[in-house]
Amino acid sequence: MMDWTDRHCRFFHRQISHHAQLYTEMVTANAVRFGDRKKLLDYDAVEHPLVLQLGGSDPAALAEASKIGEDFGYAEINLNVGCPSDRVQGGHFGACLMAEPKLVADCIAAMSKAVKIPVTVKCRIGIDDQDEEQALQNFVETVAQTGCTSFIVHARKAWLQGLSPKENREIPPLNYDRVHRLKKSMPHLKIHLNGGLETMAQATPHLENLDGVMLGRSAYHMPWILNDVDSAIANTVSPCLTRRDAVLAMIPYIDKQIASGLFLHRITRHMLGLYHAQPGGRMWRQSISTESCKTGADSNVILRALEVVEAQAAKQAEAA
């Protein structure tokens, strides 16, 4: 989710689900070590439970970045061994590390030694011509020897040559059964499923045998699917019962951020999909996209867009 999610996205998503565990976008270890830490790592306390996802392949650098993350108050550190982009490969991290389980184990060992919070791994079922059965089993067994007990597995191979990151999310076939077999073979580990899940209705059956599911771009483009998370995993109701509630919950946050100098579109770009497939959804997107970038735009842009959506919904209900 690099270049997609940020702290404002997570704050918005937290208004829809109290119990979903939220992850940062992948941040490189060296960016954490040498960059603007407040800009990269700061968050609102309401975002917890919150995981910092790191990218890198140098054990010492990852250990230092993990400690920095722990000091910032993150509940968990996750090492990304699943991203297939050329930029990530060029930095020798992400999915290409599936071919180097011993190096990943060294990284996890160093990270775990540096912090007291859990350190987890997000990976693929394999890359390129690797055998999905043997490669994944060897990878997880090797890394688990460090004491790592939690793996999030994207149930697709990553083809590092010839496919773009987008194609790597769509073309390699999903193999959910492989992830279930991994859990069956190593029941003492926490195995979470990622990839291709678009609704909680699709995800929930996997929770009968697995320890968790991860929703990525589907939650970004259709954020209201998170409204079903709390009832599915915690038997509680969502903090916002309607989309209108979620919009109104964002107003104080938006006002605060604008007062600090943030431009409205930095927040509203994450809210465009709230009315996906709903009456007035297109007008919601158009209104926010057009108005949020204007000089002086404030939370009234959101309130006016909400009025448009509700008027359209009422019109369609009356016609029906």
- Kind of pairing between the strands at 150-158 and 212-214: unpaired
Kindly report, residue by residue over 153-210, the tens digit of the pLDDT. Answer: 999 999 998 888 888 888 899 999 999 999 999 999 999 999 999 999 999 999 999 9
Confidence of residue 89 (pLDDT cuts 50, 70, 90): confident
Kindly report, residue by residue over 213-231, the tens digit of the pLDDT. Answer: 999 999 999 999 999 999 9
Per the annotation, the verdict on 83 as an active-site residue is yes
Kindly report, residue by residue over 265-317, the tens digit of the pLDDT. Answer: 999 999 999 999 999 999 999 999 999 999 999 999 999 999 999 999 888 88
Catalytic residue among 83, 107, 123, 240: 83
Q: Which domains does the chain have, with CATH numbers?
A: 7-234 (3.20.20.70), 243-319 (1.20.120.1460)
Kindly report, residue by residue over 228-273, the tens digit of the pLDDT. Answer: 999 988 889 888 999 999 999 999 999 999 999 999 999 999 999 9
Confidence of residue 1 (pLDDT cuts 50, 70, 90): low
| Contact indicator for 179, 210 with CB cutoff of 8 Å | yes
| Contact indicator for 257, 267 with CB cutoff of 8 Å | yes
Instruction: Report which DSSP code applies to 260.
Output: T
Q: Which residue has the tokens 């791994």?
A: 121
- H-helix segments, the chain: 7-16, 29-34, 37-41, 59-71, 86-90, 101-114, 132-144, 165-168, 176-185, 200-203, 217-221, 229-234, 243-259, 265-268, 281-291, 300-319
Rg of the Cα trace of the chain? 20
**Residue 239 has what pLDDT?**
87
Q: Cβ contacts of residue 168 below 8 Å, gap of 6+?
A: 84, 156, 158, 159
pTM for this one?
A: 0.94
